[in-house]
Amino acid sequence: MPTDTQMSARERMAFRILFLTSAIWNFTGALPGLSDSAGMFQREFGRELTDPVMIAVYRGAWGTALLYGLGFLVVAFNPVRQSGIVLMGGTGKVLFALNLLYMYLQGWTSDFALVVIVGDVVFVSLFALYFVRLRQHGHGIL
């Protein structure tokens, strides 16, 4: 396929929708995770979280998810220009999904974790397609 630095309006819109959806996905977890960390922990792991230090650590993880969501919103405005944010956020999604999968396989999480794992895998797969398309259009990944 020949390289073309100009992405079509349709493809650009598709990527804008992808990153807007990804931001919403992150906010869907981050907002309840930040506002009710113990309740979110209960849903995700099927056990109570009462240690104030661990609540703060868990809330911090959701703060990171919120920041990734804000980053994906930035990308939605200009998908071609903001690929570094996608690389960072996508790497975070891969690492989080792998860690959560490990915890799930150890029996440490509820089945709710599967929703998060599958969702992040879907987004990372679409991010990989995004990077392929950027390269095909002659754009660098960073």
The identity of residue 58, as a single letter, is: Y
Is residue 4 over pLDDT 80?
no
What integer best gives the mean pLDDT of the chain?
93
pLDDT tens sequence across 37-89 = 999 999 999 999 999 999 999 999 999 999 999 999 999 999 988 999 999 99
Give residue 1's pLDDT band: very low, low, confident or very high (50, 70, 90): very low
CB-based contact 96:120 (threshold 8 Å): yes
Predicted TM-score (pTM) of the model is: 0.89
As a whole number, mean pLDDT of residues 6-24 equals 94
Helix axes 9-35, 52-77, angle to 10 degrees: 160
CB-based contact 97:121 (threshold 8 Å): yes
3-class SS letters over 98-133 = HHHHHHHHCCCCCCHHHHHHHHHHHHHHHHHHHHHH
CB-based contact 41:58 (threshold 8 Å): yes
pLDDT tens sequence across 78-134 = 998 899 999 999 999 999 999 999 999 999 999 999 999 999 999 999 999 999 999
